[in-house]
Amino acid sequence: MFFHFDPMYFVFLAPAFLLMIIAQFWVKHAYASGMQIPSRLSGAAAARYILDEAGCQDVAIEEVPGTMSDHYDPRSRVLRLSSEVYRARTATAVGIAAHESGHALQHAHNWMPLVIRNAAVPAATFGSQAFSVLVIVGMLLSFARMYSLGINLILIGVALYGLVLVFQLINLPVEFDASARAKRILSHYQIVDGDGAVAVNRVLNAAALTYVAATLATLMTIAYYLWRIFGNSRN
């Protein structure tokens, strides 16, 4: 059933792949363009100012290697910025720094969607790993003529993979809210001018599209396996 090339897999995943390509191109273009627009503060300075103004002086800011490796770690309450974002005085740098600061503010205020998302991380990790194992084992059993058992294992794997989709759906409003906070804060404190605000919008909107594309890819993967299982059963 599953041990052959199936072009329908690419038909199902094509919308997500196309959206991801568009998102990645948009991110790279917006990132590079925003790096050409100056800001009065560096990414690190903007993050420190935002956090201090919000009463989050206990949140540390660290410089980390890599590109687009910026993230907020709620376990250690540390905001980690890539070297380019940490040091640059540009719209891209302060936009990304403000976005990650937005996550720190969500955490400080115990914003419920973030609390739920963080609690869902172990389940999503387990679901992803179990899906890979169960699908492979199920395929092998199906190939070995143990068809019913194999299909049942694949179906369980797909159901567990649904935990990843649930996590991603919860994560979308968390990311959108962090970007919305960043835009408001940068405007309120006049960290960027009009051109800088436009550049920040482009960078953060492009980044948000990557999350939408990843969620769509997960949804269409689940849809493909369900179609293969139940479509084959009807046949």
Residue type, 136: I
Q: Give catalytic residues, as residue numbers.
A: 100
Partner residues linked to 81 by β-bridges: 63
Contact, 126 vs 152, CB < 8 A? no
> In the chain, how many H helices and how many E strands?
7, 3
CA distance 78 to 67: 18
Contact, 172 vs 120, CB < 8 A? no
Sign of the Cα torsion 15, 20, 25, 26 reads positive
Indicate the pairing of strand 71-73 with strand 60-64: unpaired
- Beginning with the edge strand found earlier in the chain, give each strand of the sheet holding 60-64 in spatial order: 60-64, 78-82, 71-73
Contact, 81 vs 96, CB < 8 A? yes
Contact, 204 vs 38, CB < 8 A? no
Q: Measured at the alpha carbon of residue 80, what is the angle toward residues 77 and 84, in degrees to the nearest 5?
A: 160
